[in-house]
């Protein structure tokens, strides 16, 4: 698993520390957490088909699978795909019987079945059946299906219902479907429907769709529309329109989006060209982030080795950690003279989950205490709790031991802190262990703290 995802999903305190350390210097690629958050936003706005796709991505990335399955089922039901919703709920209860979401799934299933038994879901069933029939017609006979879909979209149905119907065009893929999506993207005064049509054009791809998207981009004053168009360029693989945005768009925010889009598209050759001629550190930093998104390890390493700006070198080092490039980080550490950059490298080892090199530095008496403490902190970020407990027992340096206690807290090992609090003779270190327990919040920590409070 990607070490960054591991930090987010299993060690929230470590994740918080990494965010604080890298705040303003690192834009992390989208992962399961981003997908889950995006799914909840779509769900709140009633965009259920898109929410289903987002929760699917979260499930695939292993982020909060039980919760993601629950909300996926909810959105499937709201989309009229009730049989699929029930299948997901059954799967959730089977795979995660001890999760609280299994209980919630049982309640949701009961509510769904109650709707159907009471007849209150009749309208939902009818609309769902109509959409299924329309979907089949569009697949088998688009010439006949598209006029019916046009009539459906001109009716007084809700935006949510129309968006669901509009997505059916993607499965048709006919020239009429492309033309109809373009017409809605250009002319619709319903924002939700317009954004859905833009998404369709990205999925269709091809020169015609790309030209229409590009015309709409340069004629629209709406930033949300422009962002959706950039996403559609990404989906269709249309690099040149994104390059034009990077070169001609007056909005710095949208140019930043274009840089990120090129990273997602893996257009590293184009990014290379712009990085070399770019004079703004802010834009160079964005390109470095795009390199990371693209997995362009060599370019990030080159910046870490030779970039004149210390801030950009530090950023590149952090990104090497996200990429898991531990061999390159070790080479950099041995060559580097600047102690602040060396501390950054140790932090990057933590992000990469590399305990081996961090243990070596933390155990070296010849290394400056500042670096050894940074290595200890990296071990906490990497979740190397046993190594930290072992290092605490072997270390005789007071300041290093205090740092180890904090690192044990970062990786969430309440049992190790409790053991140290019971056995430590130094009153200040004992107090530090107890203070760090308060930041973990586990049942074992609470029980031990209550034990201390109840002592007579």
Asked if residue 15 has pLDDT above 60, the reply is no
In the predicted model, is pLDDT for residue 137 greater than 90? Answer: no
160 closest CA partner among 40, 47, 80: 47
pLDDT category, 296, cuts 50, 70, 90?
A: very high
Other Cβ atoms less than 10 A from the Cβ of 414: the count is 21
Q: 275 pLDDT band (50/70/90 cuts)?
A: very high
Of the candidate ranges 173-177, 233-237, 430-434, the one whose mean pLDDT is the lowest: 173-177
Band of residue 113 on the pLDDT scale cut at 50, 70, 90? confident
Q: Is the pLDDT of residue 139 over 50?
A: yes
Residue 27 has pLDDT above 50, yes or no: no
Quick check: 18 pLDDT over 60?
no
- Where is pLDDT greater, at 157 or 334? 334
What mean pLDDT do residues 15-21 have? 44
**62 pLDDT more than 90:** no
C-alpha to C-alpha distance for 43 and 75, rounded to whole angstroms: 7
- Rg (alpha carbons) of the chain, rounded to whole number: 27
Contact 183/194 with Cβ under 8 angstroms?
no
CA proximity to 87, closest of 63, 107, 69: 69
pLDDT in tens, 199-230: 989 988 889 899 999 999 999 999 999 999 99
For a pLDDT cut of 90, what percent of the chain falls above it? 54
What's the CA gap between 77 and 268, in Å, rounded? 41
**CA-to-CA distance for 240 and 245, rounded, in angstroms?**
9
Q: What integer is the mean pLDDT of 69-79?
A: 88
Mean pLDDT, the chain, rounded, equals 85
- Find the mean pLDDT for residues 418-425: 93
Domains and CATH numbers, the chain: 31-120 (1.25.40.10), 126-265 (1.25.10.10)
Q: At residue 273, does pLDDT exceed 90?
A: yes
């Amino acid at each position: 698993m990607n070490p960054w995802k591991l930090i987010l999903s299993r060690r929230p305190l470590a994740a918080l520390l990494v965010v604080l350390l890298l705040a303003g210097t690192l834009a992390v690629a989208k992962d399961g957490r981003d997908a889950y958050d995006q799914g909840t936003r779509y769900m709140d706005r009633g965009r259920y088909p898109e929410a289903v796709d987002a929760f699917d991505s979260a499930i695939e990335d292993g982020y909060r699978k039980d919760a993601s399955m629950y909300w996926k089922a909810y959105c499937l039901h709201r989309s009229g795909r009730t049989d699929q919703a029930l299948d997901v709920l059954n799967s959730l209860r089977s795979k995660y019987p001890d999760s609280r979401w299994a209980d919630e799934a049982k309640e949701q299933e009961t509510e769904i079945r109650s709707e159907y038994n009471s007849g209150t879901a009749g309208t939902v069933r009818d609309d769902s059946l109509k959409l299924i029939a329309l979907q089949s017609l569009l697949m088998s006979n688009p010439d006949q299906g598209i006029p019916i879909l046009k009539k459906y979209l001109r009716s007084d149905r809700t935006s949510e219902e129309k968006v669901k119907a509009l997505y059916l065009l993607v499965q048709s893929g006919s020239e009429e479907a492309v033309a109809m999506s373009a017409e809605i993207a250009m002319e619709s005064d319903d924002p939700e429907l317009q954004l859905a049509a833009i998404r369709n054009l990205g999925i269709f791809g091809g020169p015609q769709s790309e030209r229409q998207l590009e015309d709409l981009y340069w004629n629209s004053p709406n930033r949300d529309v422009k962002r959706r168009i950039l996403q559609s360029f990404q989906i269709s693989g249309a690099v040149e329109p994104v390059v034009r945005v990077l070169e001609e768009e007056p909005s710095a925010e949208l140019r930043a989006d274009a840089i990120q889009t090129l990273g997602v598209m893996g257009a590293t050759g184009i990014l290379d060209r712009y990085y070399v001629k770019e004079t703004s550190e802010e834009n160079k930093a964005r390109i470095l982030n795009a390199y990371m998104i693209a997995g362009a390890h060599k370019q990030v390493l080159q910046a870490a080795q030779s970039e004149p700006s210390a801030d950009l070198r530090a950023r590149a080092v952090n990104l090497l950690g996200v990429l898991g490039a531990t061999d390159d980080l070790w080479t950099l550490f041995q060559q580097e003279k600047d102690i602040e950059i060396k501390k950054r490298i140790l932090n990057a080892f933590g992000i990469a989950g590399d305990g081996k090199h961090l243990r070596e530095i933390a155990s070296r008496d010849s290394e400056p205490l500042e670096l050894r403490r940074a290595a200890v902190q990296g071990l906490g970020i990497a979740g190397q709790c046993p190594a930290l407990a072992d290092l605490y027992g072997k270390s005789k340096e007071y300041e290093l031991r205090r740092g180890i206690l904090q690192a044990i807290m970062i990786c969430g090992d309440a049992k190790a802190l409790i053991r140290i609090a019971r056995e430590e003779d130094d009153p200040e270190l004992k107090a530090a262990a107890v203070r760090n327990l308060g930041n973990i919040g586990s049942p074992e920590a609470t029980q031990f703290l209550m034990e201390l409070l109840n002592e007579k």
